[in-house]
Structure 1
Amino acid sequence: MKLFCIPHAGGSTIPYNAWKKHLHDHIEFIPLDLPGHMPRFREPLCDNVEDIVNDLLQSVKNSLHPDETYALYGHSMGGMLLYFLYFRLLEEGYEPPAHLFFSSRWPPYHHNEKAQYDLENEKESKRRFLGMGGFNEIILNNPSMLDYHMNVLLTDFRLIQSVGTSSLRTIYSDITVLWSDKEPDIEDEDIYKWKLSAGKSIAFVKMKGSHFFPTEEPLKTANVINVTLRKYKESGGMP
């Protein structure tokens, strides 16, 4: 089974590579990095959700054969993009993924006022970005690197907030929703709104740690993925 991963705002899938040594052998990790982000930093950033989703769609097409079973994981902004990518895949005639993992993100049809940023006030927005964490010491101590990451984050948040509130649509794949017990701008009630989309099974897994638990606790996150995807292998739902 192929597991496609969409990273959080301002980030890349590079730190998610730590999952590889913990994922079961039948799970192949496939990164879906965004233009303008590492390692595609030479490409221009994009703040249009339709263009980003089309870019993700093309990346999946390049890696997925028609007879392959697959799953998708999206963290934070990646979870928002995953919602739209799922329906684009169906529109393109692909079989639904076996499983979707929405991580530290509420559904696009739910408005979360707590997570809104005044992006015209860049100084305040950058202060909030720093408060969320996720920056290592190398970045924090290198002004040019920190400035690059802040500019990427500002572009990504413009994309996020340009989407507004989307229509509620039913997802006919199994769903797991993960989030941490220390989310800065997310309440449990925001996460449980995913129930409204569930056309099949849905499970909720609350993790210990920060908003960046998938990369800070790769073993624990990979264990959730392994246990969740094992049933498709055991049931014969994989080639």
Structure 2
Amino acid sequence: MSPADLVRRPAGQSLWFPRAAGGTPPGADAVPRLVCLPHAGGTPSVYGGWQEELGDGVAVVPVLLPGRGLRLREEPHTALAPLARDLAAALVEQRLAHDYVLFGHSMGALLAYEVACQLRDLGRTEPLHLFVSGSRAPHLYGDRSDHTLPDAELHRLVRDLGGLGADHEVGAAYLARRLPVLRADLHACDTYRWRPRRPLRCPMTAFSADDDPIAPFGHVEAWRAYTTSSFLHRHLTGGHFFLGGGAPRSRLLRELRAELGRVRGATDTGTPASPSSRNRSWTC
């Protein structure tokens, strides 16, 4: 499939980026663009406030996947490969497939990696940086079957992971409405099988958390093999949903601001980032 073929894909792809009133998201001319992908069952709301936190030097572009929000009537994907292809198509169509950074949490991290590979295979540029959060490395997927759990057990799993928020009653009511799309997303993750391919060339930062049973330290560290550029592993406090708030979220945003500043500086000058910030491979 060529990039031209992508542009001719079905209508409605502007809905991928809900901040777009008539096409390109506000601030999308800013560099870099931070394209943010949600966790399983998630919506762009998980990235609420990020634009204000990260400032005007970056355009935060949250992604709305099928089956939720304005796309509620669309069938959610149950396989990751076609979802990655369709999202890559949308990025090309909306002229967002250059000067961009990808951030994904949990399923979103796996999807971000697949989108980066898809765009590379189509001759597009890789992201300026890939941020993966709360996700084991791609080759470690395939050992879970969460999408088959009965409703009560799935509720319990999300609760135990901290996915219901501070008010469990409100969170449980919201989750009950989101179960079909959550199951679809979990099916995509559970049935995903990594296929060997060459590593990406872009820098990568991985985030893990102390109490995350879904993506423990060693499984996040395994992302190191997926880039030939610099790899930073930031280990935070908290559980699987450390993006939700508090100190872990604050630290993550600080790390993002710092790295995006380096990306922006390199883009403005047209030169690679300095060796001191790029040629490292360490964990903290």
- Structural mapping, 1:12-51, within 5 Å: 12-51=43-82
Q: Scaled by the length of structure 2, what TM-score is found?
A: 0.75
Matched, 1:171 2:206: no
Taking the aligned partners of 2:241 and 2:264, their CA distance within structure 1 comes to: 29
Per-residue CA deviation, residues 155-208 of structure 1 (Å, 9 max, x unaligned), is 111111111343253011000001212202322111111111121100011122
- Structural mapping, 1:91-170, within 5 Å: 91-111=121-141, 113=143, 116-122=144-150, 123-136=152-165, 140-141=169-170, 145-167=174-196, 169-170=198-199
Matched, 1:208 2:275: no
Matched, 1:188 2:188: no
User: For residue 69 of structure 1, what is the aligned residue in structure 2?
Assistant: 99
User: For residue 56 of structure 1, what is the aligned residue in structure 2?
Assistant: 87
Q: Percent identity?
A: 24
Letter in 1 for 2:148: E
Taking the aligned partners of 1:64 and 1:219, their CA distance within structure 2 comes to: 31
Determine if contact 1:16/1:215 at 8 Å carries over to the other structure. no
Aligned residues: 236
Determine if contact 1:172/1:199 at 8 Å carries over to the other structure. yes
Letter in 1 for 2:266: S
Letter in 2 for 1:177: A
Letter in 2 for 1:215: G
- Give unmatched runs, 5+ long, in structure 1: none
Pick 1 or 2: higher relative contact order, CA cutoff 8 A, min separation 6. Answer: 1
User: For residue 222 of structure 1, what is the aligned residue in structure 2?
Assistant: 253
Q: Scaled by the length of structure 1, what TM-score is found?
A: 0.88
From the superposition, tell whether residues 144 and 43 of structure 1 become closer, same or farther in structure 2 (CA, over 3 Å): farther
Taking the aligned partners of 2:145 and 2:269, their CA distance within structure 1 comes to: 42
Taking the aligned partners of 1:179 and 1:51, their CA distance within structure 2 comes to: 27
Task: Give the C-alpha shift of residue 109 in structure 1.
Answer: 1.3
From the superposition, tell whether residues 65 and 77 of structure 1 become closer, same or farther in structure 2 (CA, over 3 Å): closer
Taking the aligned partners of 1:118 and 1:229, their CA distance within structure 2 comes to: 34
Task: Give the C-alpha shift of residue 111 in structure 1.
Answer: 4.3
SS at match of 1:73: strand
Letter in 1 for 2:107: M
Taking the aligned partners of 2:244 and 2:268, their CA distance within structure 1 comes to: 28
Task: Give the C-alpha shift of residue 214 in structure 1.
Answer: 2.0
Structure showing greater radius of gyration is: 2
User: For residue 264 of structure 2, what is the aligned residue in structure 1?
Assistant: 233
Taking the aligned partners of 2:169 and 2:260, their CA distance within structure 1 comes to: 37
